[in-house]
Protein backbone atom coordinates (compact mmCIF):
# COMPACT_ATOMS: atom_id res chain seq x y z
CA UNK A 1 0.00 0.00 0.00
CA UNK A 2 2.04 2.96 -1.26
CA UNK A 3 1.30 6.43 0.08
CA UNK A 4 3.11 9.73 0.15
CA UNK A 5 4.91 10.72 3.35
CA UNK A 6 2.20 13.32 4.05
CA UNK A 7 -0.57 10.72 3.72
CA UNK A 8 1.30 8.33 5.99
CA UNK A 9 1.20 10.91 8.79
CA UNK A 10 -2.46 11.90 8.31
CA UNK A 11 -3.99 8.48 9.05
CA UNK A 12 -4.68 6.81 12.38
CA UNK A 13 -1.82 4.72 13.81
CA UNK A 14 -2.22 1.48 15.75
CA UNK A 15 0.89 0.64 17.79
CA UNK A 16 1.28 -2.81 19.34
CA UNK A 17 4.09 -3.02 21.87
CA UNK A 18 5.48 -6.56 22.05
CA UNK A 19 2.33 -8.42 20.97
CA UNK A 20 2.38 -12.09 21.94
CA UNK A 21 -0.57 -13.82 20.28
CA UNK A 22 -0.47 -14.20 16.49
CA UNK A 23 -4.25 -14.42 16.09
CA UNK A 24 -4.75 -11.08 17.84
CA UNK A 25 -2.15 -9.35 15.68
CA UNK A 26 -3.67 -10.95 12.57
CA UNK A 27 -7.12 -9.64 13.52
CA UNK A 28 -5.69 -6.19 14.17
CA UNK A 29 -3.85 -6.26 10.83
CA UNK A 30 -7.15 -7.07 9.14
CA UNK A 31 -8.80 -4.12 10.94
CA UNK A 32 -5.95 -1.86 9.77
CA UNK A 33 -6.35 -3.12 6.22
CA UNK A 34 -10.09 -2.44 6.26
CA UNK A 35 -9.78 1.03 7.80
CA UNK A 36 -6.53 2.35 6.33
CA UNK A 37 -4.92 2.64 9.76
CA UNK A 38 -1.14 2.19 9.88
CA UNK A 39 0.09 -0.76 11.93
CA UNK A 40 3.28 -0.42 13.98
CA UNK A 41 4.73 -3.52 15.66
CA UNK A 42 7.33 -3.11 18.40
CA UNK A 43 9.69 -6.03 18.94
CA UNK A 44 10.15 -8.48 20.43
CA UNK A 45 7.13 -10.17 18.89
CA UNK A 46 5.86 -13.32 20.58
CA UNK A 47 5.60 -15.06 17.20
CA UNK A 48 7.08 -15.18 13.74
CA UNK A 49 5.52 -12.93 11.10
CA UNK A 50 5.34 -16.12 9.04
CA UNK A 51 3.10 -17.76 11.68
CA UNK A 52 0.15 -19.59 10.12
CA UNK A 53 -2.29 -18.25 12.74
CA UNK A 54 -1.18 -14.70 12.05
CA UNK A 55 -1.60 -15.19 8.31
CA UNK A 56 -4.94 -16.98 8.70
CA UNK A 57 -6.39 -14.21 10.90
CA UNK A 58 -5.36 -11.61 8.33
CA UNK A 59 -6.69 -13.79 5.49
CA UNK A 60 -6.15 -12.17 2.12
CA UNK A 61 -5.86 -8.61 3.47
CA UNK A 62 -2.10 -8.51 3.99
CA UNK A 63 -1.44 -6.58 0.79
CA UNK A 64 -3.63 -3.76 2.17
CA UNK A 65 -1.75 -3.37 5.47
CA UNK A 66 0.74 -0.54 5.89
CA UNK A 67 2.96 -2.21 8.49
CA UNK A 68 6.13 -0.97 10.18
CA UNK A 69 8.50 -2.70 12.61
CA UNK A 70 10.49 -1.13 15.44
CA UNK A 71 12.91 -2.31 18.11
CA UNK A 72 11.60 0.12 20.74
CA UNK A 73 8.38 1.99 21.44
CA UNK A 74 10.55 5.09 21.77
CA UNK A 75 11.44 4.80 18.07
CA UNK A 76 7.75 5.16 17.24
CA UNK A 77 7.28 8.01 19.71
CA UNK A 78 10.25 9.87 18.24
CA UNK A 79 9.17 9.35 14.63
CA UNK A 80 5.67 10.65 15.41
CA UNK A 81 6.62 13.10 18.15
CA UNK A 82 4.11 15.72 17.00
CA UNK A 83 1.15 13.33 16.74
CA UNK A 84 -1.34 12.97 19.61
CA UNK A 85 -0.63 9.80 21.58
CA UNK A 86 -2.97 7.67 23.65
CA UNK A 87 -1.78 4.81 25.81
CA UNK A 88 -4.44 2.17 26.48
CA UNK A 89 -4.21 0.66 29.94
CA UNK A 90 -6.50 -0.80 32.57
CA UNK A 91 -4.64 1.44 35.06
CA UNK A 92 -5.97 4.73 33.65
CA UNK A 93 -8.82 6.77 35.11
CA UNK A 94 -9.92 8.47 31.87
CA UNK A 95 -12.21 6.77 29.36
CA UNK A 96 -11.33 6.33 25.69
CA UNK A 97 -14.76 7.81 24.92
CA UNK A 98 -13.86 11.14 26.55
CA UNK A 99 -10.94 11.83 24.20
CA UNK A 100 -11.04 14.02 21.07
CA UNK A 101 -8.92 12.08 18.59
CA UNK A 102 -7.07 13.70 15.72
CA UNK A 103 -7.00 11.93 12.38
CA UNK A 104 -3.30 11.09 12.89
CA UNK A 105 -3.45 9.92 16.51
CA UNK A 106 -1.31 7.07 17.80
CA UNK A 107 -3.31 4.44 19.68
CA UNK A 108 -0.75 2.49 21.69
CA UNK A 109 -1.49 -0.94 23.17
CA UNK A 110 0.66 -3.27 25.26
CA UNK A 111 1.23 -6.99 25.17
CA UNK A 112 -1.55 -9.36 26.12
CA UNK A 113 -0.07 -10.66 29.37
CA UNK A 114 1.32 -7.46 30.89
CA UNK A 115 0.04 -4.40 29.05
CA UNK A 116 2.29 -1.38 28.55
CA UNK A 117 5.44 -0.89 30.64
CA UNK A 118 4.80 1.05 33.87
CA UNK A 119 7.67 3.43 33.07
CA UNK A 120 5.96 4.44 29.84
CA UNK A 121 2.63 5.04 31.59
CA UNK A 122 4.38 7.23 34.19
CA UNK A 123 5.99 9.30 31.42
CA UNK A 124 2.62 10.08 29.78
CA UNK A 125 0.01 10.04 32.58
CA UNK A 126 -2.23 12.62 30.89
CA UNK A 127 -2.40 10.46 27.76
CA UNK A 128 -3.40 7.20 29.47
CA UNK A 129 -6.95 6.03 28.76
CA UNK A 130 -8.99 2.90 29.38
CA UNK A 131 -12.06 1.06 28.20
CA UNK A 132 -14.63 0.97 31.02
CA UNK A 133 -15.59 -2.47 32.32
CA UNK A 134 -16.83 -4.03 35.53
CA UNK A 135 -14.45 -4.01 38.47
CA UNK A 136 -13.88 -7.79 38.55
CA UNK A 137 -12.89 -7.99 34.87
CA UNK A 138 -9.12 -7.97 34.36
CA UNK A 139 -9.12 -6.80 30.74
CA UNK A 140 -10.58 -7.29 27.28
CA UNK A 141 -8.99 -9.20 24.42
CA UNK A 142 -6.36 -7.08 22.67
CA UNK A 143 -7.92 -7.25 19.21
CA UNK A 144 -11.33 -6.32 20.64
CA UNK A 145 -9.81 -3.39 22.51
CA UNK A 146 -8.07 -2.09 19.40
CA UNK A 147 -11.31 -2.33 17.41
CA UNK A 148 -13.33 -0.48 20.06
CA UNK A 149 -10.93 2.44 20.35
CA UNK A 150 -9.98 2.63 16.66
CA UNK A 151 -13.58 2.82 15.52
CA UNK A 152 -14.38 5.54 18.07
CA UNK A 153 -11.40 7.55 16.81
CA UNK A 154 -12.45 6.96 13.20
CA UNK A 155 -16.07 7.87 13.99
CA UNK A 156 -14.97 11.17 15.51
CA UNK A 157 -13.11 11.93 12.30
CA UNK A 158 -16.13 11.22 10.10
CA UNK A 159 -14.87 7.82 8.96
CA UNK A 160 -12.60 9.68 6.53
CA UNK A 161 -11.99 7.69 3.34
CA UNK A 162 -14.19 4.78 4.48
CA UNK A 163 -17.33 3.71 2.62
CA UNK A 164 -20.21 1.38 3.22
CA UNK A 165 -19.42 -2.02 1.74
CA UNK A 166 -21.60 -2.91 -1.22
CA UNK A 167 -22.84 0.60 -1.84
CA UNK A 168 -26.37 1.68 -1.03
CA UNK A 169 -28.20 0.04 1.87
CA UNK A 170 -31.62 -1.34 1.01
Give one DSSP letter per residue of 29-75, joined into a string: HHHHHHHT-EEEEESSPSS-TT-HHHHHHHGGGGGG-EEEEES-HHH
pLDDT band at 58 (very low <50, low <70, confident <90, very high): low
Q: Is 92 exposed, middle or buried (0-12, 13-18, 19+ CB in 10 A)?
A: middle
Give one DSSP letter per residue of 127-167, joined into a string: GEEB----TT-----HHHHHHHHHHHHHHHTTTTT---TTS
Distance (Å, whole) CA 32 – CA 58: 10
**pLDDT tens-digit series, residues 87-125:** 999 999 999 999 999 999 999 999 999 999 999 999 999
Give the torsion sign (CA, 31, 32, 37, 41): positive
pLDDT band at 56 (very low <50, low <70, confident <90, very high): low
Phi, psi of 135 (to 5 degrees): -60, -35
139 known member of a binding site = yes
Say which residue, 162 or 53, is predicted with more confidence.
162
CB-based contact 9:37 (threshold 8 Å): no
Q: What CATH number should be reported for the domain whose range is 5-156?
A: 3.40.1280.10
**Residue 44 preceded by cis peptide, ω within 30:** yes
pTM for the structure as a whole: 0.89
31 known member of a binding site = no
CB-based contact 73:17 (threshold 8 Å): yes
Amino acid sequence: MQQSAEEAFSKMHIVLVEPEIPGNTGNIARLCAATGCHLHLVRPLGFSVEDKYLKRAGLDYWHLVDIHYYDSVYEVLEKYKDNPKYFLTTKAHSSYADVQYAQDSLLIFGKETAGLPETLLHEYPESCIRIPMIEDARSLNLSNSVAIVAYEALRQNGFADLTLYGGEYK
